[in-house]
Chains A and B, each alone.
Chain A
Amino acid sequence: MSVKRLFALTRAGIMESLQFRLGIFVTLFANLIYLVLVYFLWKAIYDSAGTDVVNGMTFTDTMIYLILATALFNFLEMFVVWDMSRSIQSGKIILDLLKPMNYRRYTFWSYSGSHVVQFLLTFIPTFIVVMIITHGAIHMGLNLILFILSTVLALIVNFSMEMIVATICLYTESTWGINIVKETIVLLLSGASIPLAFFPEAARKVVDYLPFRAVYDIPLTILLQKNGSTELSGLLPMLGLQVIWCLILYIAGTLFWNYSVRKITVNGG
């Protein structure tokens, strides 16, 4: 597979996303409103608490964490599960499998274009707004580069999880149910709905080793320079965890997918 062909898919994806021009502006606007909601809620929560720091998180930390988690969520969002279930129901899946390109790789690169657009149109503006309201609370240094690196790893982990869930759809028609279970678990255990720092100690110990943390919590912790991520000794375990989960999920996903596809082709759909 030549790199040129993969980038052609990215380019097509960018153009496709740009087609929906009003949709883009609406998305941008809706994100800003969401940001306002998070701001007010947590401001009230911290005001009621009476202290400035709760579990090592200040109001600014929490707000940045949650807003950027949402921005990351929008940026990482894929509809692989829905696409898959629709193409299974219409029978298009057979055509997809016959394409001269690995289906999973094809899906990944087709989505890359919309990732690029989402990054530029939702993540960057959100980031700028956050910088303005917090008067530059995010440190601008090496952590940004590490954050981007960590986000790419997060993207791969997220895609692998999506793909595994999508593969389950080959067995059952219950797309809605499977998707909501996945979304709920990921949102809760990745720190997207409430920072993992607020979890009880015992729960943290478990959550720390699960793959969900690799999607939102680790990139954001690195960006906010928490948990000793400024030191190599704090940073390496986090990035290491991401890499390990990337490998595990990728391999597990590939095996599961290949096994399932073989099963369909044998049973003839």
Chain B
Amino acid sequence: MSTNTVSRKRGLSFYARIYKKILIQDLKSKMSYRADFIISTIGMIMTNLSGFVTFLILFRNFPSINGWDYHHMLFLYGFSLVALTPVQCFFDNNWNLRFQVQSGDFIKYCFRPINVFFYFMSEVFDVKGLGQLAFGVGTLVYAWYHIGMEVTVLRICLLILFLITASLFMIAIMNFAAATCFWIVGSGYVMVIMFRFKDFAKYPASIFSGIFKVIFTFIIPIAFVAYYPSLAVLDPCEAPVLSWCAPLLGILFFWLSYKFWMLGVRKYDFTGS
């Protein structure tokens, strides 16, 4: 019998190495499509600019929203942009899931001795997301300066921790939305609408009341994509308990979304072909 009957462990370092290799190869081949790269980058800049213009027009007419002034809102806005970068860069293949599932091409991800979710996501790294990151960081720095917050090591650490937290929520939302296609044919709209929901992440979640506060905090957790995590950075002493729970909840949500996604893979009968 051949040597590979013994199942070898594939740990975190194994996956990191594979991802790095795929990434390098992918970037190399992307460079060969220069026109596509330029047009996509322009598109990405346009989306960000348009979001920014909308924001400016809004504040031109209304000086504050729910007690949040211009610079604090700008902070929230920048925070949400940075938090949305990982989902854009690393999990963009979710958008192709429904086409691959419908056409039956998805099956190819099931034949390799590696994690299906990893294998699927590793196929696309979206460089355009980096433009958004730059935009977000710029906004964040500008807002931080104008709010006049002190720059301390602790604050920076908090910022990084809570940015990661916030991005986990967004990734989880998109995983859930994408995985619906394993059960529901024509569910593409779920992703579109969830992606549009994210535009509301940049407003303070205190605008919601009653049952909807619960829904947008725990069921479709857009309140966690910027609002709660950024409170912990803006004002650590006054931040609500939910802000401090966010990192754990983020991990939980991500884990649940991953399980849901994988359940979809197992339940799907691959009849499409």
Contact = CB atoms under 8 A, between A and B. Distances in A.
Chains A and B share a contact (CB less than 8 Å): yes
A37 B186 contact: no
Contact of B61 (A19, A23, A43, A198): A198
How many chain A residues sit at the interface, stated as a range, is 35 or more
A254 to B, nearest CB: 25
Interface stretch (A4-12, A185-193, A244-252): A185-193
Label chain B's interface by main secondary structure. helix
B62 A177 contact: no
Interface in B32-55: 33, 35-36, 39-44, 46-47, 50, 53-54
Interface string B184-226: 1111111001101100100110111100100110001000000
A165 to B, nearest CB: 12
A34 B39 contact: no
B267 interface: no
A54 B207 CA distance: 19
A79 B190 CA distance: 16
Contacts of B208: 40
B97 to A, nearest CB: 15
B33 A54 contact: no
B255 interface: no
A41 B207 contact: yes
Contacts of B197: 33-34, 37
B187 A172 contact: no
Given A19-B185, A40-B209, A54 B40 contact: no
Given A19-B185, A23-B185, A177 B200 contact: no
Given A40-B207, A180-B47, A193-B54, A30 B183 contact: no
Nearest to B60: A200
Given A55-B61, A173-B36, A27 B189 contact: yes
Interface string A22-36: 111011001101101
Contacts of A37: 197, 200, 216
Contact of B33 (A26, A34, A47, A173): A173
A47 B40 CA distance: 39
B100 interface: no
Nearest to B213: A40
Interface of A: 19-20, 22-24, 26-27, 30-31, 33-34, 36-37, 40-41, 43-49, 54-55, 74, 172-174, 176-181, 184-185, 187-188, 193-194, 198-200
14 contacts: A23-B184, A23-B186, A30-B194, A44-B206, A172-B39, A173-B33, A180-B43, A180-B44, A181-B39, A185-B46, A188-B50, A193-B54, A194-B58, A198-B60
Q: Which 4 A-B pairs have the closest CB atoms?
A: A20-B186, A23-B186, A177-B39, A44-B207
Interface of B: 33, 35-36, 39-44, 46-47, 50, 53-54, 57-58, 60-67, 180, 183-190, 193-194, 196-197, 200, 203-204, 206-209, 212, 215-216, 220
